[in-house]
Homo-oligomer: A and B are copies of this chain.
Amino acid sequence: MIYQRVAFIGLGLIASSMAHAIRRAGLVGDMTGTARSARTRAVAAEIGLVDKVCETSAEAVRGADLVVLCVPVGAMAAVAAEIAPHLSHGATVTDVGSVKQAVIDAVTPHLPGHVHFIPGHPLAGTEHSGPESGFAELFDNRWCILTPQEGTDPGALDRLTQLWRGIGANVDLMDPPHHDLVLAVTSHTPHLIAYTMVGVADDLRRVTDSEVIKYSAAGFRDFTRIAASDPTMWRDVFLTNKDATLEILGRFTEELFALQRAIRRGDGDLLHDYFTRTRAIRRGIIEAGQDIDAPDFGRAKR
């Protein structure tokens, strides 16, 4: 047993996948969980997601030696304030938010000195949400980034690392601002761009929605998967990782304007060179086991 009792605050895709994966690996004594929505709690209870679904966060964290905050980044401060008086002495508190500095700023002031706060972010997900969307394999061979602060207890960090490894993930340590910049590149800006492209297509007068849908297999549909992700979670990401996202967006538009100008001028060599260079990163991702090489993500032969 790595932990005696794990409490999940929030029971969406990440929490429910962690619960399945923890059960698969048999790593903890028991699990509790709670969610703000009564419907989510009812579904979680019905499918037996955790051993006990609680009405309140206070009840859920009682006796837990690991508490995992799985709520949107904008809700972290309120949850931290709510659970603080009920945390067990020496418990570890972690989170799974997509932004790290903002979570640290929101949570740290509320937590008592006797708990270990180790922020975390598993880089895994799907476009689905809610307590029924989780599955045990979500973290297999994905990366979980932990951003411990100076003075973090090595023993507490080691236990949390063991838990993530036990449910299939690789673990890296990073400082919070660098995490937020890296994720602005590999996640936040791509999501914003995908949302934008889908919004544009939805809003044209000369091309109908039904045309967009019928002819989406030519590339567009890939963007709609990402743009179907949870709106509250993503609103909070952009509001709390503002600077890094705006920096990368600035780079993106600069680059887009350069390609746009090449198209306008008919500079085929520039376009060809650019499109050749981008192939290498795809190869790197496949070699690193972070995507499959099957054509069209393996959809093609279904």
- Chain A residues with a Cβ under 8 A of chain B: 74, 98, 123-128, 133, 135, 137-138, 142-143, 145, 172, 181-183, 185-204, 206-207, 209-229, 231-232, 234-236, 238-239, 242, 245-246, 248-249, 251-253, 255-257, 259-260, 263-264, 266, 268, 271-272, 274-285, 288, 290-292, 295-302
Contact = CB atoms under 8 A, between A and B. Distances in A.
Contact of A199 (B198, B235, B257, B278): B278
A300 B138 contact: yes
A222 B138 contact: no
Nearest to A136: B301
In the complex, the count of this chain's copies comes to: 2
Given A196-B255, A239-B266, A182 B215 contact: yes
Contact of A285 (B74, B192, B216, B278): B216
A275 B235 contact: yes
A143 B220 CA distance: 14
B279 A215 contact: no
A24 B276 CA distance: 34
A221 B290 contact: yes
Contact of A201 (B135, B185, B204): B185
B285 A123 contact: no
